[in-house]
Structure 1
Amino acid sequence: MKVAIIGGGLGGLSAAVTLAKHGADVRLFEKNDHFGGKMMSVDEGDFHFDFGPNTITMPEVFQDVIRQGGLDPREELPFAKIVTHTRNEFHDGTTFDFSTDQGYMKQQLGQVDPKGHVMYEDFLIEIERLYNLSRKHFLHRTFNGWTDYLSPTLAKSMTKVRPLESMDHFFRRYFSNPKVIQALNRYSTYIGSNPYQAPATFSMIAHLEWNDGVYFVRGGNTRIADRFVKAAENVGVRLYSGTKVTRILHENERVTGVETGDGERFEADHVILNGDLLHAVPELVDPEARRSMSDRKLKGYDPSISAFVIMAGLDTKLSRLKHHHLFFSSDYKKEFRVLKNGYYADDPTIYICTSSKSDYSVSTQGDNCFILVNAPALNQKGGYDKHAYKNHIYDRLEDAGVPVKSHLQVEKVWDPADIQNHFGAYRGSLYGPSSNRRSQAFMRPFNKSQDLDGLWFCGGSTHPGGGSPMVVLSGQNVANEILGKIVQVE
């Protein structure tokens, strides 16, 4: 069986490893010079930055790919856990930390949120329940057509994961302090969505950080992508970097292969598209061969939010910064309202990942600050100046007592246009379609083409959704479906 995979992100690599391990002849094509998609290293001078992701959860998902590739995951991916992992700092200077240390969490809640102090254990139980239901019924399977939603078991499970309640409303069941709720609402941005619209189902993200934990990989999280490549090569995958696929070939409503930019053709029984479907499908598939994914239908999806990113290497170490540090806006609802309307927020929430706080090897001299604020997907609204907005963020940080600008040694800035151009992300969105509408949250584009036999989709645009672990599972799910394997989840 010959399989061509378009896109060398984590989904494409995980699919490649699973397929090749079971004897498939796999070729993987990546247009950029690096594999891993958004899990990309940026090295400037003596500073290393992980473009993404900075927060790692579900390490066992990544380790499984390494194991399938015939390698020792403990040796290849030395994950380390951060117990108290995120400092949430608010506009008045007060803070609230996220931690898997339940005693510390209870202590904090006892000081600032009496309701949360009482409800804390109930909250942990409920978010674990949401996660376990999702894991059992949604995360380890493909959705290949409308009939997949008609299963009585699935329908029953769907009603149990709070699909009609917003994340914000769910968190208010357990907490009363607006700052604690604001910090929890940020989990919606992990899927590029709005906490006042996204279904409470995604509150399970809190389980991963509050019950299980947040991790990092020594030497940089991008080591995950490097080891995925090693695993793929170890099982015989043929990897092509700097090779852009320009067309998916088909005949009689079935794929026959792919064509690259230099005109070379490669035969395939199956083609897996690992990329942003909203951008890639119109580019690679003839209109008459994608009636179920017409331009009109694809444009009907709301894109997830994008990001404005500053990678700043400093000549000093700022002692007040933690590994993961948030500086929240004074009005979170207004911030999301502005983003929804297609504009940049004047008072944005600023996230800083300084991985050198936990891993000195990535920056020995000064802090490696990866600074990210939410940004709207590209639109025609205008009125945005990249240089001015960068300085506006620096000014906000200066006001918060974080003098990044005055200690700059190296700097690299990315905005939604850069993200679109480098990663082929539709309108610069980070996670494909948003999960603000329930139809997009639970009925994302199918993993299997409705028009061409042998064409499959994996990645953040499709099931099970955005975020690195989900993307890895997406690739594995598609590979298992092609192989005819049934995965039993306990």
Structure 2
Amino acid sequence: MEGKAIPLTEKIIIIGAGLGGLATAVRLSYHGYDVEMIEKNTVPGGKLQFREQEGYHFDLGPSTLTMIEVFENLFQSCNRNIHDYLTFYPIKDGTSNYFPDNSIVQFNQDMKQVQEDIARYSQKDADNYPAFLAASKKFYDIAQRNFLNRLFLTTKDKMSPILMMNLLKVKPFTHYHDWLKQYFSHPNTLQLFGRYATYVGSSPYSAPAIYGMMSHIEAGLGVYGIKGGTYQLVRALETLALELGVKIHYQEEVESIATEYQKVVGVKVNGKLRKVDQVIGNVDMLTVYTKLLKNHRMDKKIAKLEPSLSGFALLLGVKKRYDQLKHHQVFFEEAYENEFESIFGTNTLPANPTIYICNASYSDASLIPNENASNLFVLVNAPHLSDMYDWENYKEIYAKKILERLEQLGLTKLRENIEYMEIMTPEDLKKTTGAHLGTTYGPSSNSFSQAFFRIPNRDKVFKNLWFVGGSVHPGGGTPIVTLSGGLVADEIIRKSKKG
């Protein structure tokens, strides 16, 4: 176990208390830094939030947990055991994938069973599945060694010969969908694995092949839940932060970042300046540049970045059980490419969107009022905010369309059994989390540069301004944003020791 550092006098303020910010806070506080977090909401978590209404518990945002060793290692680095704070459990069924031709693939860690499911519609694709998983693991291993566990703060960092050599191994200029076609030909299989690009707010037809590693992350490393709901991870990190002396100010909002010459000197809250030595932004990086800083040289670059997709969600408390629903399920439609052409091409809602449902009560009965109920988190991909939609007036119309489609897909009498419903739009995402244009992960990963060389975690002008979270390196996803927090904390600690 690494030793705790001698306490420092350096003052650090973290804007936002999402997973990335909490990860940074606990690492820095453990090493003696004076850390304060400023969070505009009443609770921490960022995009990972919760609702408890009428006996129903819903987790908002990430509903799939993978790479749990990231969370274990973070707690261990603070001389704690995460299993003293929460209880993980494996979701052995994985995800039920339903296709327009009535095929079903239960995607999980059972390679033989997945092959059998795929073979029902394509023996060729089933035969190629083991080779695909091996290639997926290779991508993951390369990413772990070269991309996910290091920062790229300088041109020298990015142009390392070893990095360039390994970058070529993950086919950075091959689109993910084209790479998938090297193994599969049936539309079902291409949809099944192509969907992983949406985990980083992107399109399988534009994002690079590296996201093929997601299949290994779920099929190789496993998918997990947490007793009491995914939000227990946030509560565990908040508890650890408070134990370590982190001060968290809720219902306070940073209005601007104060700078002098080439240095950040503080943040303004309620019109008053709070002086600091370092500032870490755990709100969307694009929001920091467009709202909290004025006339930054990054403004022109930001305007050229393609935003990631957003989401439209329904929280449904239903007084009925549906035997066909497991923990995770996806209902695909025909012409998958049309969905992404709508979102990224015309910035419109898909006519026939893919629908994801998390039915967490399948695994944890404590999340529902009684054994005959269901807590359904329904999510479809949506475009970022624009003038195309007045969400306040359109959300009920689109919700009705989704509910009607779910009844057609077999959730009989769904609408008449709903006891609680909440609609969440891209506008809500922007209001509650500060997400730029209501996106899930800031910039998309639909290009080489936006996938591999995202906006750096440290500002190029103000060297004491840092960023963590899904909008910066190493990218989106619950474990990955947690990694970003640890990486930034470790770099700050390294620089302090250096001098």
Answer yes or no: is 1:430 the counterpart of 2:440: yes
Partner-residue secondary structure (3-state), 1:88? strand
Counterpart-to-counterpart distance in 2, 1:210 and 1:14: 26
For 2:383, the equivalent position in structure 1 comes to 376
Match of 1:445 among 437, 446, 455: 455
Larger mean Cα displacement after TM superposition, 237-246 or 367-376: 237-246
Larger mean Cα displacement after TM superposition, 267-276 or 59-68: 59-68
Answer yes or no: is 1:394 the counterpart of 2:403: yes
Taking the TM superposition and a 5 Å limit, the aligned residue runs for 1:208-247 are: 208-247=217-256
Counterpart-to-counterpart distance in 1, 2:115 and 2:105: 12
Larger mean Cα displacement after TM superposition, 331-340 or 63-72: 63-72
Answer yes or no: is 1:146 the counterpart of 2:155: yes
Q: What is the identity, as a one-letter code, of the residue corresponding to 1:380? A: D
For 1:462, the equivalent position in structure 2 comes to 472
Per-residue CA distance 1:198-239 (angstroms, 9 max, x = gap) = 000111111111111111101000000010101111111111
Q: TM-score of the superposition, structure 2-length normalised?
A: 0.94
Question: Are the equivalent residues in 2 in contact too, given 1:17–1:68 (CA < 8 A)?
Answer: no
Answer yes or no: is 1:275 the counterpart of 2:283: yes
For 1:94, the equivalent position in structure 2 comes to 103
- Segments of structure 1 that go 5 or more residues without pairing to the other structure are none
Question: Are the equivalent residues in 1 in contact too, given 2:285–2:471 (CA < 8 A)?
Answer: yes
For 1:74, the equivalent position in structure 2 comes to 83
Answer yes or no: is 1:363 the counterpart of 2:368: yes
Counterpart-to-counterpart distance in 2, 1:177 and 1:364: 42
Counterpart-to-counterpart distance in 2, 1:9 and 1:443: 22
For 1:325, the equivalent position in structure 2 comes to 329
Per-residue CA distance 1:354-411 (angstroms, 9 max, x = gap) = 0000111111421000000000101122487211110000111111111321210000
For 2:417, the equivalent position in structure 1 comes to 407
- Segments of structure 2 that go 5 or more residues without pairing to the other structure are 1-9
Large movers: runs of 4+ above 6 Å = none
Counterpart-to-counterpart distance in 2, 1:103 and 1:93: 20
Per-residue CA distance 1:469-490 (angstroms, 9 max, x = gap) = 111111111111111189xxxx
For 2:7, the equivalent position in structure 1 comes to none
Counterpart-to-counterpart distance in 1, 2:151 and 2:342: 35
For 1:16, the equivalent position in structure 2 comes to 25
How many residue pairs get matched? 481
Per-residue CA distance 1:87-145 (angstroms, 9 max, x = gap) = 11112322111010122123223333222322222212111110011011111111213
Question: Are the equivalent residues in 2 in contact too, given 1:258–1:265 (CA < 8 A)?
Answer: yes
Per-residue CA distance 1:6-45 (angstroms, 9 max, x = gap) = 1100010000011111111111111111101011011111
Match of 1:334 among 308, 333, 338: 338
Q: What is the identity, as a one-letter code, of the residue corresponding to 2:408? A: D
Question: Are the equivalent residues in 2 in contact too, given 1:276–1:460 (CA < 8 A)?
Answer: yes
Per-residue CA distance 1:272-298 (angstroms, 9 max, x = gap) = 1111111222211131xx22x12x321
Partner-residue secondary structure (3-state), 2:120? helix
Counterpart-to-counterpart distance in 2, 1:364 and 1:177: 42
Per-residue CA distance 1:121-171 (angstroms, 9 max, x = gap) = 221211111001101111111121323211111111111111111111112
For 1:479, the equivalent position in structure 2 comes to 489
Counterpart-to-counterpart distance in 2, 1:78 and 1:204: 26
Counterpart-to-counterpart distance in 2, 1:353 and 1:485: 43
Answer yes or no: is 1:286 the counterpart of 2:294: yes
Question: Are the equivalent residues in 1 in contact too, given 2:313–2:425 (CA < 8 A)?
Answer: yes
Counterpart-to-counterpart distance in 1, 2:495 and 2:124: 46
- 1:81 is displaced (CA, Å) by 0.7
For 1:314, the equivalent position in structure 2 comes to 318
Counterpart-to-counterpart distance in 2, 1:243 and 1:147: 38
Counterpart-to-counterpart distance in 2, 1:80 and 1:27: 32
Counterpart-to-counterpart distance in 2, 1:76 and 1:102: 32
- 1:415 is displaced (CA, Å) by 0.6
Counterpart-to-counterpart distance in 2, 1:483 and 1:252: 24
Question: Are the equivalent residues in 2 in contact too, given 1:253–1:453 (CA < 8 A)?
Answer: yes
Q: TM-score of the superposition, structure 1-length normalised?
A: 0.95
Question: Are the equivalent residues in 2 in contact too, given 1:34–1:241 (CA < 8 A)?
Answer: yes
Counterpart-to-counterpart distance in 1, 2:389 and 2:428: 16
Question: Are the equivalent residues in 1 in contact too, given 2:105–2:114 (CA < 8 A)?
Answer: no
Partner-residue secondary structure (3-state), 2:220? helix
Q: What is the identity, as a one-letter code, of the residue corresponding to 2:75? A: I
Q: What is the identity, as a one-letter code, of the residue corresponding to 2:338? A: K
Question: Are the equivalent residues in 2 in contact too, given 1:96–1:180 (CA < 8 A)?
Answer: no
Question: Are the equivalent residues in 2 in contact too, given 1:116–1:176 (CA < 8 A)?
Answer: yes
Question: Are the equivalent residues in 2 in contact too, given 1:63–1:77 (CA < 8 A)?
Answer: no
Partner-residue secondary structure (3-state), 1:411? strand
Question: Are the equivalent residues in 2 in contact too, given 1:459–1:472 (CA < 8 A)?
Answer: yes
Partner-residue secondary structure (3-state), 1:275? coil
Larger mean Cα displacement after TM superposition, 62-71 or 11-20: 62-71
- 1:240 is displaced (CA, Å) by 0.9
For 1:256, the equivalent position in structure 2 comes to 265
Counterpart-to-counterpart distance in 1, 2:103 and 2:416: 24
Answer yes or no: is 1:41 the counterpart of 2:50: yes
